[in-house]
Amino acid sequence: MRILVVEDDRKIGSFLQRGLEAERHVVDVARTGPEGARRGCTSAYDLVVLDLMLPGFDGHEVLRRMRDGGVNTPVIVVTARGEVADRVRGLDEGADDYLTKPFSFVELLARIRALQRRQASAFDPMLRMGDLAVDTVKHRATFREVELDLTPREYQLLEYFMRHPGVTVTRAMLADRVWGIDFDTGSNVIDVYVNYLRRKLAAAGAEAAIRTVRGTGYAFQPPASSPAPDVPGA
């Protein structure tokens, strides 16, 4: 998932970013109301974690602008305002869930998973191509039912490729959807991680799954299904 955290407290924002990235999410952080509204309304996010007490204007205004602009991205409001009236107002304005500070990070993760399950009820959360499968809720990938040992970034790359089979994916697209807004455009890190992923797929038996499109980016070719190997002595 690509997640926007709108939080003015640098310590809390950094903590949430590190924790969510460890769970294989791509995370951007906005520190003011205007910045949160701009990013929430103009960029494609799968989830917004929104503080209410923000400089510029508050989280209620961020949420109002998103919903008035037709943005239906799920929003979890995280705030020190714990009064029932505040929670009711946030939910009535379009928030999908509410957490009161201080909160447990594992509870935030559980609420994110619950929102994912709610969204997944309308579609199959599994992406399958040949013998390769990606579980978009559990954030795990398997080839011929054996789990691949992927880093969070490698998993994010694979999920993006699986969602765009046969399509030429540019480096700019990968920078935006996998690395986020803080990506250094002069870096070769995308090529490095694509090669990491290629090697792991090849080691598992999924040869030539990612093809380089010279001067543009990459195209993902779903690996073909193959028969299971003979079991010695069978």
pLDDT in tens, the chain (234 residues): 889 999 999 999 999 999 999 888 889 999 999 999 999 998 878 899 999 999 999 999 999 999 998 898 999 998 887 677 777 888 888 899 999 888 899 999 999 988 887 776 556 678 888 889 998 878 889 998 899 999 988 998 999 898 888 889 998 888 888 887 666 767 889 999 999 999 999 999 887 689 999 888 999 987 655 444 444 443
What secondary structure, in 3-state letters, does 47-110 show?
Answer: EEEECCCCCCCCHHHHHHHHHHCCCCCCEEEEECCCCHHHHHHHHHCCCCEEEECCCCHHHHHH
CA distances to 5, 78, 229 from 62, rounded to whole Å, are 12, 13, 55
Q: Is position 229 within any domain?
A: no
Q: Which of 102, 120, 138 is the last residue of a domain?
A: 120
pTM: 0.64
Give the chain's domain count. Answer: 2
Examine the domain organization and report whether 33 and 14 are in the same domain.
yes
Q: Is position 101 within any domain?
A: yes
Examine the domain organization and report whether 108 and 143 are in the same domain.
no
For 47, the domain range is: 2-120
- For residues 184 and 90, give the distance between their C-alpha atoms in angstroms, rounded to a whole number: 36
